[in-house]
């Protein structure tokens, strides 16, 4: 027998083997439903989601590409138990098998419910649902805005109630799509339009009842933020009384139904009329009371003015009397003064030298002679005393002393007098004042009286 030939070895590269494994896995597991817990979730800027699905003993890497990720109604987070659908493949650069997901839903709860709870918690943490932000509805609105669909029963219910309660109320309707793709953006845009326009004093945002999916537009973040940012109060009226949306939490008032929202917003015209009548009556009473009070005040003021006028007239009479009395007193005083002046003038004239001269011309020559003699004697006496004083002054005069051979030493013509040898120094220039001039001298030596 001939020996059998040795088998031919097939040598594969790592990449070839990885490609074969990938092909086998994708062929054998084209679609797999998988249950597990989300962990190691990463969300890079590309929009893809990378995570690990695990149970008690195993784990598998998973990826949710951007196209599938944007369709999620809730946010994936670590620790969330989910049911996912995908296909098994191999990530060749690392030789790891993984599952590419195209659908994910929470285990035991719907995706919308999870999304509702997640968004509610996040917006509540921002303070969008705080009670302090709620504003009271206007008591007497002039215009009401309505954001809803024109094809639903909600708009008819709202209009019916508004017209019944207050036919004069102005209503502005902004029709929007209330479910389906793009409905949230339409609702938010309508809310912003009414808020910024200044046309309305309050607005109603809502629709009729439906499933959670039907009402989901009022759970979208863009709608909730538009309601919270509105400049006018917003009443949320979404679905029936048992339906709760995030719009209810952000609104200033949550009405169980659209009809209830209209009831809360529109005042009853009958109540307005009754209130106006009441206010009119109160106003008339207030005007009447104020008129009576002002009339009484005017009467009292008139009486006071009359009394003041009488008092002024009395004071004017007193002033006139005082003026008359003062005038008479001044006249009497002036007359008395004139009489005294005349008496004094007569007395002065009687005692004046002119009068005496007139009555005693014989006495004048004797008086003049005596006056001349007395004056000559007084002049002679005073002349003698002056001459004696001049002699004394001349004897004491420095010029007389200089005339007797003395001199006065000074450093300058008007400087102080040098009295002792201690006041000068050898070589110093001095001026000697004589009776008829000055000498300029230089000190050659200084000798005190006790010097040899």
Answer yes or no: is pLDDT of 444 > 80. yes
What is the widest separation between alpha-carbon atoms in the chain?
Answer: 219
H/E element holding 164? helix 153-165
Alpha-carbon span 186 to 192, nearest angstrom: 10
Same domain, 430 and 298: no
Answer yes or no: is pLDDT of 270 > 70. no
Q: Does residue 343 lie within any of the structural domains? A: no
Q: Does residue 395 lie within any of the structural domains? A: no
Q: Does residue 27 lie within any of the structural domains? A: yes
Q: Does residue 449 lie within any of the structural domains? A: no
H/E element holding 332? helix 269-351
Average pLDDT, the chain: 83
pLDDT of residue 138: 92
Strands 32-42 and 59-64: unpaired
Q: What is the dihedral of CA 392, 393, 394, 398, to 10 degrees?
A: 130
Q: 51 has which bridge partners?
A: 62
Alpha-carbon span 294 to 287, nearest angstrom: 10
Alpha-carbon distance values, 60 to 36, 173, 364 (Å): 9, 53, 165
Lowest mean pLDDT among 230-234, 279-283, 302-306: 302-306
Domain of residue 75, CATH code: 2.40.50.140
DSSP letters, 243-303, are ---HHHHHSSEE-SSHHHHHHHHSPPHHHHHHHHHHHHHHHHHHHHHHHHHHHHHHHHHHH
The number of residues making up the chain comes to 452
Burial degree of 333 (CB within 10 A; 0-12, 13-18, 19+)? exposed
Q: Which residue stretches of 352-412 are H helix?
A: 353-359, 364-396, 398-403
Same domain, 134 and 263: yes
By C-alpha distance, which of 217, 216, 212 is closest to 242? 212
Domain of residue 157, CATH code: 3.40.50.2300
3-class DSSP state of 238: strand
Q: Does residue 5 lie within any of the structural domains? A: no
For 28, the domain range is 14-108
Domain boundary (108, 133, 168) is at 108
User: Residue 444 half-sphere exposure, CB side, CA atoms within 13 Å?
Assistant: 2
Percent of the chain scoring above 90 in pLDDT: 22
Same domain, 124 and 262: yes
Alpha-carbon span 127 to 145, nearest angstrom: 26
By C-alpha distance, which of 212, 202, 225, 53 is closest to 136? 202
Same domain, 194 and 286: no
What are phi and psi for residue 199, nearest 5 degrees? -80, -30
Q: What is the dihedral of CA 251, 257, 259, 263, to 10 degrees?
A: -50
- The pLDDT of 241-257, averaged and rounded, is 89
- pLDDT (tens digit per residue) in 354-377: 666 566 555 556 766 777 787 788
Burial degree of 9 (CB within 10 A; 0-12, 13-18, 19+)? exposed
Same domain, 286 and 166: no
Domain boundary (318, 349, 378) is at 318
| Residue given tokens 């006496």 in the structure block | 381
Same domain, 237 and 188: yes
- The pLDDT of 69-84, averaged and rounded, is 82
CA 209-210-214 angle, 5° bins: 125
Alpha-carbon span 342 to 350, nearest angstrom: 12
Higher-confidence residue of 345 and 425: namely: 425
Which tokens sit at 442?
């230089």
Alpha-carbon span 46 to 279, nearest angstrom: 66
- pLDDT (tens digit per residue) in 22-59: 787 777 788 888 888 888 889 899 889 999 888 888 88
Q: Does residue 150 lie within any of the structural domains? A: yes
Number of domains within the chain? 4
The DSSP output letter for 126 is: T
Same domain, 85 and 173: no
pLDDT of residue 395: 66
Same domain, 143 and 80: no
Strands 49-54 and 429-434: unpaired
Going across the sheet that includes 202-207, the strands are 170-175, 143-148, 202-207, 234-238, 253-254
Same domain, 273 and 262: no
Domain boundary (318, 333, 356) is at 318
Alpha-carbon distance values, 53 to 86, 275, 309, 327, 435 (Å): 12, 67, 106, 126, 143
Lowest mean pLDDT among 71-80, 399-408, 410-419: 399-408
Q: Does residue 47 lie within any of the structural domains? A: yes
Strands 143-148 and 96-106: unpaired
Q: Does residue 58 lie within any of the structural domains? A: yes
pLDDT of residue 141: 92
Is this structure's pTM higher than 0.75? no
- The pLDDT of 243-264, averaged and rounded, is 90
- The pLDDT of 60-70, averaged and rounded, is 88
Same domain, 167 and 180: yes
Same domain, 129 and 242: yes
Higher-confidence residue of 155 and 383: namely: 155
By C-alpha distance, which of 256, 266, 144, 160 is closest to 208? 256
Confidence of residue 212 (pLDDT cuts 50, 70, 90): confident
- Contact call for residues 72 and 85 (beta carbons, < 8 A): no
Confidence of residue 108 (pLDDT cuts 50, 70, 90): low
Answer yes or no: is pLDDT of 117 > 60. yes
Same domain, 125 and 242: yes
Confidence of residue 200 (pLDDT cuts 50, 70, 90): very high
- Contact call for residues 145 and 245 (beta carbons, < 8 A): no
């Amino acid at each position: 027998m001939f020996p059998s030939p040795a088998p031919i070895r097939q040598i594969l590269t790592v990449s070839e083997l990885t490609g074969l494994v990938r092909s086998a896995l994708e062929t054998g597991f084209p679609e797999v439903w998988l249950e597990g817990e989300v962990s190691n979730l990463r969300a890079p800027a590309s929009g893809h989601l990378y995570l690990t699905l695990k149970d008690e003993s195993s784990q598998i890497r998973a990826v949710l590409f951007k196209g599938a990720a944007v369709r999620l109604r809730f946010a994936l987070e670590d620790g969330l138990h989910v049911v996912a659908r995908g296909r098994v493949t191999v990530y060749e650069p690392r030789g790891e098998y993984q599952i590419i997901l195209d659908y994910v839903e929470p285990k035991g709860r719907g995706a919308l419910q999870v999304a509702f709870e997640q968004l509610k918690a996040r917006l509540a943490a921002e303070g969008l649902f705080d009670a302090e932000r709620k504003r009271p509805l206007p008591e007497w609105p002039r215009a009401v805005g309505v954001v809803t669909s024109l094809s639903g029963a909600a708009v008819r219910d709202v209009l019916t109630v508004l017209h019944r309660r207050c036919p004069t109320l102005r209503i502005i309707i902004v029709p929007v799509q209330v479910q389906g793709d793009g409905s949230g953006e339409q609702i938010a845009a309508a809310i912003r339009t009414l808020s910024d326009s200044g046309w309305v004093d309050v607005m109603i945002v809502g629709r009729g009842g439906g499933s959670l999916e039907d009402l989901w537009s009022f759970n979208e973040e863009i709608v909730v933020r538009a309601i919270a940012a509105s400049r006018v109060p917003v009443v949320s009226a979404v679905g029936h009384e048992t339906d709760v949306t995030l719009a209810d939490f952000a609104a200033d008032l949550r009405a169980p139904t659209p009809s209830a929202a209209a009831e809360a917003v529109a005042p009853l015209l009958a109540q307005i009329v009754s209130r106006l009548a009441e206010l009119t009556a109160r106003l008339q009473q207030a005007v009447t009371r104020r008129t009576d009070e002002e009339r009484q005040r005017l009467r009292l003021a008139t009486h006071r003015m009359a009394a003041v006028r009488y008092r002024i007239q009395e004071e004017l009479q007193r002033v006139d009397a005082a003026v008359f009395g003062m005038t008479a007193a001044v006249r009497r005083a002036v007359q008395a003064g004139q009489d005294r002046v005349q008496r004094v003038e007569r007395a002065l004239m009687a005692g004046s030298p002119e009068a005496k001269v007139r009555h005693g011309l014989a006495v004048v020559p004797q008086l003049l002679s005596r006056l001349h003699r007395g004056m000559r004697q007084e002049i002679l006496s005073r002349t003698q005393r002056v001459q004696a004083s001049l002699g004394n002054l001349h004897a004491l005069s420095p010029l007389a002393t200089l005339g007797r051979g003395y001199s006065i030493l000074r450093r300058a013509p008007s400087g102080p007098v040098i009295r002792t040898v201690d006041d000068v120094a050898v070589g110093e220039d001095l001026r000697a004042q004589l009776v008829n001039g000055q000498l300029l001298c230089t000190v050659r030596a200084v000798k005190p009286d006790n010097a040899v």
